[in-house]
Amino acid sequence: MSNDRVACRTPSPGKKGETRIPKWKFDCIRKAILACLRQNQVPFAELTDTVRKRLSQEELNNMGSLGWHVTSVKLELEVRGEIRRLPQKGKQIIEIVE
């Protein structure tokens, strides 16, 4: 696995900085998030479990904190405009931008 890293930013106004995660982790999680969202919108609270089902056991064993990585990648995908939060109160729902 490569030592290359991807910068994950946040779309929240006023929050600066970035988290750098290994590219292979970013790519695995990005692919899983986008595959999930191509089928349906997903509540953020269910995103980690949905992603977990799409990763191999080896990927899961080497991932570390899956929830933390899913959140970091999700935020970066929002910044890139690949996914978005639905504008509503209450539960955060995520969808793909097509």
pLDDT along the chain (98 residues), means of 10: 84 86 97 96 96 96 96 96 91 93
Domain ranges, residue 88: 5-96
The pLDDT value given to residue 1:
52
Nearest-angstrom CA–CA distance, 34 and 96? 7
The DSSP bridge partners found for residue 8 are: 19
The pLDDT value given to residue 88:
82
Q: What is the CATH number of the domain that holds 32?
A: 1.10.10.10
Per-residue tokens: 64 = 């570390």
Per-residue tokens: 31 = 């692919």
Per-residue tokens: 18 = 């970035």
Number of domains in the chain: 1
Please report, as a single letter, which amino acid is at residue 51: V
The pLDDT value given to residue 51:
97
Per-residue tokens: 30 = 């990005």
The DSSP bridge partners found for residue 19 are: 8
